[in-house]
Amino acid sequence: MKFSCENISSSEVMKKLDRIRAHAPELAHPLVCLPNIHPKTGLESPPQFVAATKNTIVPQLTAPAMNCGMSLYKTNITRYDFSEEFLDNFAARLRAGAHPWIGKWKTALQWIGLYSRPATVYDLTKDELKDIFLGGAPAAVKRYRLPKNETERMEYGGCMLSEEEKKEINLMHLVPRSAWINARHEMGYNFGGNHFLEIQYVEKIVDEKTANQWDLREDQIVLFYHGGGGHAAYHLGRYFGRREKNTAFEKLILFWLKLFFHFGSWKGIRHLRARWRAYFSRMPFPATPLNSPEGKRLMQSIKIGLNYGYAFRTALLRRINDALPKGSASFLWDAAHNSVMEEEINGERIIMHRQDAVRVFDGKPVMIAGFNTLSYLGIGQKNTDSTLRSATPSAGKTIIRFKEEGKSREDPQHILFISKRKEKELKKMPQQSPEGLFAVTNKLEQAGIIKPVAYLRPLGTIKGH
């Protein structure tokens, strides 16, 4: 198998994989390890990894927050419009629409209703949040006054629920209080940790026909975003599972909050055994049957979390258009890279768990982020079963490894400007040559998963809260 998980060089990744093989039930296909697979603390499964199960949901096979993802927004301006002043102004206008940091104590008081943070124009009412849980990106397009056709350039149209499924959902039984409160704020604003918003330009077009269909041209400015998920996905993932990615104190607090949330009704008590096993037990990789009452409830929580993530990155499009000093932006493509989804492969219905991996659709864009070097824009192909129709969304760890091993070099002809909220001056950094990126993309191209359309050169990155 071309993307086998049998011979991985990282011992830390192999330990995680061995644990999955020993405890995860009913794997429908061999595990898939994508070219940039790497270890990450606090995650039960390694990033750039895919697992398929039969009729069971195993949340620990992906990250705790659903629909962290990737967006590429195209603009009608060029790299000649970019300057340090442009980046400063754009970053300042983006941050002007963000909430000031309120700290842990005020956040705790907010949860119990004793503090209300100042509202911004991007915040949601409770009814708008309900619409987004059920309607995903189309509801966000309406809320943020964007063209309806933006959702045509998002996987699944930015919504995971059918009209029939929406009627069956009781949000009060799915959404914890912490999510109802926090998820209304900071929509579309998250550049912390390894998340970023990067201004890039189209340096080279390889596939002119596809680039024309996507309305791309050389020197055009695009914005590459890694993030999403947001507050609702964060809380949903932690209430519907016992996850490693929490401190001991957070686990203690979550235990009591989850106890009340899951067992604070007669229905919860009736399903005590299933809920305890799924969300409280220490057993590795607990599996919940999809067709059980709790499996149905768990999948509903996953789908509304995915919907919120699509809406989150739609809200960022509104912020981008409000903040750009000139020109305008629209989606080129948007996709989740943390997800649990029901899919069909060769007539078989399976449940796909993707951890830092995007679904590949025939004829649709596939974005692979670089790290201080080129990024890649490709087009999905038909023959993708070797990766369970998946691709890596980032080559970052491979790029860093190539730099450390001397396999790439510094490229002083290209400078990256970095804007951080707590630093007044822009940071300047020479870029790296792209050998690490090509090492990842070449493997996917050779397997017939993707074909290249264009290479994107970074100009400036916005980081930090």
Q: Residues 399-441: pLDDT tens digits?
A: 999 999 999 999 999 999 999 988 889 999 999 999 999 999 9
Amino acid of residue 208: E
Over residues 172-180, mean pLDDT: 92
pLDDT in tens, 295-327: 999 999 999 999 999 999 999 999 999 999 999
DSSP 223-246: EEEEEE-HHHHHHHHHHTS--SSS
Cβ proximity of 229 and 183 under 8 Å:
no
pLDDT on residue 113 = 67
- CA 323 → CA 89, 96, 143, 302, 320, distances in Å? 8, 9, 18, 32, 5
* 227 membership: H or E segment, kind and range: strand 220-228
Question: Residue 13 pLDDT more than 90?
Answer: yes
pLDDT on residue 1 = 57
Distance (Å, rounded) from C-alpha 288 to C-alpha 301? 13
Q: Phi and psi for 203 in degrees, rounded to 5?
A: -80, -40
Rg over CA atoms, the chain = 21
pLDDT on residue 73 = 98
Give the 3-state secondary structure of 390-416. EECCECHHHHHHHHHCCCCCEEEEEEE
Question: Residue 290 pLDDT more than 70?
Answer: yes
Return the ∠ at Cα 431 (arms to 452 and 414), rounded to 5°. Answer: 85
Over residues 235-260, mean pLDDT: 90
Over residues 227-251, mean pLDDT: 89
Q: What is the mean pLDDT of the chain?
A: 94
pLDDT on residue 111 = 67
DSSP 31-93: -EE-TT----TT-SS-SSEEEEESSEE-GGGS-SSTTEEEEEEEEEEEGGG--HHHHHHHHHH
Question: Residue 217 pLDDT more than 80?
Answer: yes
Distance (Å, rounded) from C-alpha 204 to C-alpha 402? 23
pLDDT on residue 51 = 97
pLDDT on residue 67 = 96
DSSP 405-453: TTSS-EEEEEEEEEEETT-SSPEEEEEEPTHHHHHHHHHHHHTTSEEEE
pLDDT in tens, 77-116: 999 999 999 999 999 999 998 887 777 777 777 766 677 7
Cβ proximity of 309 and 66 under 8 Å:
yes
Question: Residue 117 pLDDT more than 60?
Answer: yes
DSSP 331-391: EEEEEESEEEEEEEETTEEEEEEEES-EEP-TTSEEEEB-SSS-EEEEEE-S--GGGTSEE
Over residues 67-85, mean pLDDT: 97
Q: Which of 18-32, 157-171, 205-219, 308-322 has the lowest mean pLDDT?
A: 18-32
Closest CA to 334 of 357, 363, 314: 314
pLDDT on residue 99 = 80
Cβ proximity of 141 and 150 under 8 Å:
yes
Give, rounded to a whole angstrom, the gap between the first and last alpha carbons of the chain: 42
pLDDT in tens, 383-401: 889 999 999 999 999 999 9
pLDDT in tens, 249-280: 888 888 999 999 999 999 999 999 999 999 99
pLDDT on residue 112 = 65
Distance (Å, rounded) from C-alpha 218 to C-alpha 211? 9
Question: Residue 248 pLDDT more than 90?
Answer: no
DSSP 8-class letter at 266 = H
Question: Residue 345 pLDDT more than 70?
Answer: yes
DSSP 8-class letter at 421 = T
- CA 228 → CA 204, 222, 454, distances in Å? 28, 18, 24
Amino acid of residue 355: Q
Over residues 51-74, mean pLDDT: 95
Pairing state of beta strands 410-420 and 450-463?
parallel
388: left (phi over 0), alpha (psi -120 to 50) or beta: left
Return the ∠ at Cα 222 (arms to 440 and 37), rounded to 5°. Answer: 20
pLDDT on residue 81 = 98
Cβ proximity of 202 and 220 under 8 Å:
yes
Domains of the chain, each with CATH number or no CATH: 11-463 (3.90.1860.10)
pLDDT in tens, 2-11: 899 988 989 9
